[in-house]
A and B are shown apart, each in its own frame.
Chain A
Amino acid sequence: MFEAISFYLFAFLTIAMFFITVTTSQALYALTALAAGMIFISAFFFILGADFLGAVQIVVYSGAVMALYAFGMMFFDTTRDLKEKKGNSLIIYGLSIVAAVLVVIIFAAPMVTDNISALYPMVEGAGNTQEVGMVLFTKYLVPFEVAAIMLLVAMIAGIVLAGKKMDLSLTMMSDAEVKDLKEDKNKKVLS
């Protein structure tokens, strides 16, 4: 009963928030609606008993990713209204057909694999976090370490790409210095 009520409530909220994200013409509204939608999605994980996944969702998405986006939006001119693209209708129809076929496959897959058995079944008497730890540090240890290396590479890439010219403050310089910098920048290709 409560599961059904919470499912429908959060489904409605999530769909509404993501709909606002893709339709609004204001970048700030889109960012806020996306952050709210991420929080509501974590509710599904808690309903499904995946507590650790829900906590990770809140920490990573609304903590790290949203802060990164808010940081990035300080660089961009977000007050300007966004223009929408008039897409090629052939591409849109083609993608819609592909999406419809995918939906059919998604609903057919559980029927075909009715006699499926769990590869890593849930352990009795252990919490979700314990179970996740048991599986993650035995069967999925190598992918876990590879993901750690990938995150390190992404961190270094972010620092190198975004951190260039970070020591210069465009607001504190005089106009002549900014002009010099512009001419200097035009000569160089990248960096």
Chain B
Amino acid sequence: MMEIGLNHYLVLSTILFSIGLIGVMRRKNLLMLFFATEILLNSVNIGFAAISHYYGDLTGQMFAFFVIAIAASEVAVGLGLLIVWHKRHNNIDLDNMSTMKG
């Protein structure tokens, strides 16, 4: 209980990942969906850092850096697209984005 091991961090990472997954499934507003995506990416980062620490290997931290870089560029491009969509349609609800529905 008092000794924090790898499994503690993996459990925490899993809990945060499930919270993010719940957010992705129940949100309709696209901005809230982006927030849930950030939670998913961050929970994975915790797992990477924990494994990197407990196995004495730096590869996990390297992957966490690249995940952060990808998250930053995703936010930049995604918000730009979202602003364009909002200027044209005046809403950012997911249900209205069905122009590609067969």
Contacts and interface: CB of A to CB of B under 8 A. Distances in A.
Interface of A: 1, 3-4, 7, 11, 14-15, 18-19, 21-22, 27, 30-31, 34, 37-38, 41, 44-45, 48-50, 52-53, 56-57, 60-61, 64-65, 68-69, 71-73, 75-76, 78, 82-85, 87, 91-92, 95, 99, 103, 106-107, 110, 116, 118-122, 131-132, 135-136, 140, 143, 147, 150-151, 153-155, 157-162, 164-165, 185, 190
A19 B28 CA distance: 16
B31 A60 contact: no
A7 B9 CA distance: 9
Nearest to A165: B87
B1 to A, nearest CB: 8
Contact of A120 (B58, B77, B88): B58
A122 B4 contact: no
Contacts of A87: 25-26
A123 B69 CA distance: 25
Interface string B61-96: 110111011111111110111111011100011110
A72 B31 contact: yes
Residue in B3, B23, B71, B73 with the greatest tally of chain A CB atoms within 10 Å: B73
Summarize A's interface: helix, strand, loop or mixed.
Answer: helix
Interface in B1-45: 1-4, 6-10, 12-23, 25-29, 31-32, 34-36, 38-39, 42, 45
Interface band, chain B: 35 or more
B14 A103 contact: yes
Contact of A157 (B18, B20, B49, B76): B76
Given A27-B32, A154-B74, 14 more contacts: A11-B12, A19-B19, A41-B42, A44-B12, A60-B71, A75-B83, A87-B25, A106-B13, A106-B14, A119-B57, A121-B56, A140-B62, A147-B70, A161-B84
B53 to A, nearest CB: 4
Contacts of B16: 14-15, 18
Residue in A11, A56, A132 with the greatest tally of chain B CB atoms within 10 Å: A11
A186 to B, nearest CB: 10
Given A31-B35, A119-B59, A143 B27 contact: no
A177 to B, nearest CB: 16
Given A48-B52, A53-B61, A122-B56, A150 B73 contact: yes
